[in-house]
Amino acid sequence: MKKTMVLVFLLGVFSFAQTPKDTLPKAEVSTTMQSVNINGRTIYLTAQAGTFEIRDENNKPIALIGHTYYSRGSERRGTSTQKRPIVFAYNGGPGSSSFWLHMGVLGPKRIVVNDPISTPAAPYKITNNNYSILDVADLVMIDPVGTGLSIPVGKAKFKDFWGVDQDIRSLSLFITQFLIEHNRMNSPKYLLGESYGTFRNAGVMNTLLNQGIAMNGVIMVSAVFDLRTLLFPPNDDLPYIVHFPTYAATAWYHNLIENKPDDVYTFLDEIRSFTENEYTPALFKGDQLLDADKTEIASKLAAYTGTSTEYWLKANLRVTASEFFAEFLRDKGEIVGRLDSRFTGINQDLLAKDGSHDPQSSAISPAYISGFLDYLHRNLKVSKKLTYSITAGRRKGFKWDWSHEGNKRWGTQAAINTGIDMAQAMSRDPNMKVLILNGIYDIATVFYGVEHSINHLGLTKEIKDNIIMKYYEAGHMMYTHQPSLVKFKKDVANFIRSTSK
């Protein structure tokens, strides 16, 4: 009797010990056949949408990563499939899922939105994407942990993935293990990130290179590398300097520049010259700037932005992005967009110092979210029992760890800069190319901030020549603007073709 009880007890303990492993959520993938027509040519695709289990360095499962993988033809073809480029793409946030790029420009279907005005409620138009990159490469859309269908498993927690280095590690693990699983390790490989995704790209490209996986190319959409260019901390003039050209571009677009040049890029060259030779030296002087000189600079700042000299004097020549949103069209009772300053919205508080919301986000978000969820479950056949998380920001306890190992050798920094990682990767692999796409009306990640970051990486001329800069007359998501959508496809396709030979 006692032996029986002991045996039962031991079996119970054994069963209990096995329970966590047995109850780990399993990766699920829905496979469907899709197609896209590009320039009159129909391309047939295998679409695999769902989750992929990644393991840590000790081979233990730590997460299910949500993704959609579009491949042309069958993987059974082996060598022929390996020659086709593969692009790993994601959005930013941090904490955003990848549906923006997925349905805006990269995938086989595209959400059609009004630009630059608000898109009415459903039914939304989901159409064939003639501007997809699927004619030149296979595509993997990735949702970082906490977004999309991506969740931690086993002993891992969400916080293990929510941070600069944690995020870089987990996505590097995914890319490596995905390449192995799908026999794509010898394919031409690319990263494509938008916004924080470019900040992530700089870290991932260096991490993978250090692990023996070199990228053929890295594509940065609406880039940021040095976070100082986005923040407005006390006694730091840099963010004011790098934002000013975008304020001026916004005024040019809204016809608030007297005798404005016909060409916006000619105008921006003038603004760059003023910023470097007059505005920056004036800010550097601080309270030693003479009153007469301060008034002269304020009048030029006002003229270039369609605002008043008095406003710039009250601001001590320093206007934050949020302050600009509220002030720029205050007389009209409007605010301008952060992601795209071509968009305008109603300003309900004409005394407000800061912008109340982002008109561009309000104008397009419902169309993108509803349209994508319909496509995910109806076309890609992903189970309706799985909840797709648009943003990790909605999850309880979401908090990002902004420390970064790559910056430690430079000592304490006011803000993290992964441009250092990019510079290291490009210097160690002189064949690696980087394509940076900039929207000139993007006040979320300003183009002059990118230029400043690139110019301060300490790259040799040969390596710096491997960075290609392109500009678009649109904002953060330049692909909502039809002419920029056409240019986006041309620039990215040409980049992939030229670097995958």
The proportion of the chain whose per-residue pLDDT surpasses 90, expressed as a percent, equals: 90
- What whole-number percentage of the chain has pLDDT above 70? 92
Per-residue pLDDT of 64-77, as tens digits, reads 999 999 999 754 44
Res 11 pLDDT > 70: no
- The whole-number pLDDT of residue 501 equals 84
What pLDDT is recorded for position 10?
37
Confidence band for 23, pLDDT divided at 50, 70 and 90: confident
Per-residue pLDDT at 409: 58
CA distance 132 to 393: 29
Does residue 401 contact residue 70 with C-beta atoms inside 8 Å? no
- R_g of the chain, CA atoms, integer Å: 25
Residues 6+ apart with CB under 8 A from 487: 470, 472
Contact 448, 438 (CB under 8 A): no
Backbone angles phi, psi at 90, to 5 degrees: -160, 160
Q: Among 1-5, 354-358, 383-387, 490-494, where is mean pLDDT lowest?
A: 1-5
- Say which residue the tokens 């100082």 belong to: 228
Predicted local confidence at residue 82, as pLDDT = 79
Give the burial string for 383-418 (b: 16+ CB within 10 Å, else e). eeeeebbbbbeeeeebebeeebebbeeeeeeebbbb
What is the predicted pLDDT for the residue at 410? 54
Helices (H), 69-163: 79-82, 99-101
Longest CA pairwise span in the chain (Å): 101
Predicted pLDDT of residue 12:
42
The identity of residue 87, as a single letter, is V
Type of residue found at 383? S
With CA atoms as reference, report the closest residue to 170 among 191, 194, 143.
Answer: 143
* Least reliable range by pLDDT among 142-151, 312-321, 345-354, 397-406: 397-406
pLDDT of amino acid 296:
98
Confirm if 444 and 195 have CB atoms less than 8 A apart. yes
Q: Residue 261's pLDDT band (boundaries 50, 70, 90)? A: very high
191 — phi, psi (to 5°)?
Answer: -110, 140
What is the helix (H) or strand (E) element at residue 86, kind and residue range? strand 86-90
pLDDT score of 222 more than 50: yes
What's the pLDDT score for residue 110? 98
Give the least confident one: 177-181, 291-295, 404-408: 404-408
pLDDT at 20 over 90: no
CA 260 – CA 344 distance, rounded (Å): 21
Which run of H or of E encompasses 116? none
Angle at 317 between CA 311 and CA 321, to 5 degrees: 80
> pLDDT at residue 3 above 50?
no
Mean pLDDT of the chain: 93
What phi, psi does 313 have (nearest 5°)? -70, -40
The mean pLDDT of 12-28, rounded to a whole number, is 59
Phi, psi of 185 (to 5 degrees): -65, -25
Backbone angles phi, psi at 96, to 5 degrees: -100, 145
pLDDT tens sequence across 65-113: 999 999 997 544 444 567 999 999 999 999 999 999 999 999 999 999 9
What's residue 458's pLDDT? 96
Q: What phi-psi label fits residue 320: left (phi over 0), alpha (psi between -120 and 50 degrees) or beta? A: beta
d(Cα 215, Cα 201) in Å, to the nearest integer?
11
Whether the Cβ atoms of residue 345 and residue 362 lie closer than 8 Å to each other: yes
Residue 102's closest CA among 113, 91, 92? Answer: 91
What string of H, E and C letters represents the secondary structure of 218-285?
Answer: EEEECCCCEHHHCCCCCCCCHHHHHHHHHHHHHHHHCCCCCCCCCCHHHHHHHHHHHHHHHHHHHHHC
Q: Coil, strand, or helix at residue 60?
A: coil
Count Cβ atoms below 10 Å from residue 125 Cβ, excluding itself: 12
Residue 77 confidence (pLDDT): 46
Considering only residues 205 and 3, tell me which one the structure prediction assigns the higher pLDDT: 205
Q: Which CATH number fits domain 23-228+365-499: 3.30.565.10, 3.40.50.2000, 3.40.50.1820, 3.10.20.740?
A: 3.40.50.1820
Half-sphere exposure of 398 (CA within 13 A, CB side): 14
Location of each CATH 3.40.50.1820 domain in the chain: 23-228+365-499
Q: Which helix (H) or strand (E) holds 4?
A: helix 2-22
- Determine the length of the chain: 501
**pLDDT higher than threshold 50 for residue 17:** no
Could you tell me if 219 and 435 are in contact, meaning their C-beta atoms sit under 8 angstroms apart?
yes
Amino acid found at 20: P
What band does 405 get if pLDDT is binned at 50, 70 and 90?
confident
Question: In 3D, which of 273, 271, 297, 272 has the Cα closest to residue 284?
Answer: 297
Helix (H, G, I), strand (E, B) or coil at 93: coil
Tens-place pLDDT, residues 336-386: 999 999 999 999 999 999 999 999 999 999 999 999 999 999 999 999 999
Neighbour tally for 292: CB within 10 Å: 8
Contact 119, 343 (CB under 8 A): no
